[in-house]
Chain A
Amino acid sequence: MFGLVREPIDIRKTAEDIRKPEDGAIVVFEGVVRNHSNDKPVRFLEYEAYEPMALKKIEEIGLRAKNEFDIRDISIVHRLGHMQIGECSAVIVVASAHRGAAFDACRFAIDTIKKIVPIWKKEFYEDGEVWIEGAH
């Protein structure tokens, strides 16, 4: 399952929905809104996306993960909009017969999301706000 949502992500349901009897490992990665950035306190975040392209890229990453790693299935959900400290901004769930491929595919998915999915976060501080830009 691949999706962009604006409401809180139901992590437990995302992990339960993918599970099948042949799986020996379910790896869940949760991206979390952190209360600091470069030693500066962060009050909250806002995420924006080029939605049709972001969804397309997330689906591409999911297909690549299934092709390149020995996994059975993968779900990727990214949340957009306003998020408080401690809230989940993105979840990746990988189901596989064995743990190694599941960990590897999960790492690949989050690293690739950070490189090619057109989503941007803005950090809000006590004294201002800054768009975060990834490595070019």
Chain B
Amino acid sequence: MRIAPESPLAPVARGGSITLWVDGQPVVAYAGETLAAALLAAGRRALYRPAGYGEPIRPHGVYCGMGVCFECLVWVEQPRRAETDAPAQDGAGAWLRACVTPAEDGMRVRTRADLPGA
């Protein structure tokens, strides 16, 4: 939830309006926002499903918020840099930490929240 302008802690202005495509749906955000901020503001909190033993594996979301825990990984098509070598879902792209990745206009993002296995 973006904080209301009447709060003393609210920014006077955000960046210009941009559009991301998240799991095929348009999400409106503002330049300067991280992917995590844009996704949380859009109500999308379940982001990543860690691979590992133990089951059922349920989606996780933003936890540490400072690039340490790697639980907000999202798949970004053709991004500038990758965090891991996890295989591509569709074509070229990479897993990025949403909390430290700036949102860019037209960015195409996939979360793993909708994958089967929950």
A and B: partners?
A: no
Residues of B within 8 A of A (CB): none
